[in-house]
Amino acid sequence: MSAKVNRVYLALGSNIGDRDRYIREAIDMLNEHEAIKIVKISPAYNTAPVGYIDQTDFLNAAVAIDTTLSPRELLAVCLDIEQRLGRVRTIRWGPRTVDIDIIFYDDLIIDDGILTVPHPRMHERGFVLQPLCDIAPNAVHPVYKKTVEQMYREWKAKGDINSNV
């Protein structure tokens, strides 16, 4: 019996060094995994930092993958790629070579103390919603029951001056 294939959306961000190369290498490394297939890649956007704002601009993108990995297994793969690309966790919300967040994993809702899916702040982050809307406008948030396009439109309508794409 073959394992179930799950559709997952990941958000990637980088704001140290050659940001474009880090994003591309992270995607290549995901694709090299035998249990991951890259399905779609968004454009990458230059975005002002949100949260800890005393840091340089980010490059943000999103990818759709099909995977037979469990959420925890996928988290471990993402953390391993972050580490192999030189990420050192110092300041929370601080600069990073590459960050890979699980945004949606099918329509699962997970909050087990290690992993929270959907990502708890994705709906308030333009830098996640804009690239995600490029590749999955009709994906539905399993808690809020809204499409990515709806959430992105609402985020834009709020016009929060503290947020940026």
Task: Name the site residues for ligand GSY (rule: CB under 6 A).
Answer: 13, 47-51, 58, 60, 93, 99, 101, 127
Catalytic residue among 18, 20, 80, 96: 96
The reply to whether 24 belongs to the active site is: no
- Rounded to a whole number of angstroms, the minimum distance from the CB of residue 2 to ligand GSY is 33
* Run of H or E including 21: helix 19-32
The reply to whether 57 belongs to the active site is: no
Catalytic residue among 21, 54, 89, 99: 99
Catalytic residue among 28, 101, 121, 134: 101
The reply to whether 87 belongs to the active site is: yes
Using CA atoms, how far apart are residues 44 and 36, in angstroms rounded to an integer? 21
- Rounded to a whole number of angstroms, the minimum distance from the CB of residue 96 to ligand GSY is 7
What's the burial of 64, exposed, middle or buried (CB within 10 Å: 0-12/13-18/19+)? buried
71 vs 131, beta carbon nearer ligand GSY = 131
DSSP assigned state of 141: -
CA 76 to each of CA 70, 114, 144: distance values in angstroms, whole numbers, following the listed order = 10, 11, 27
| Catalytic annotation, residues | 87, 96, 99, 101
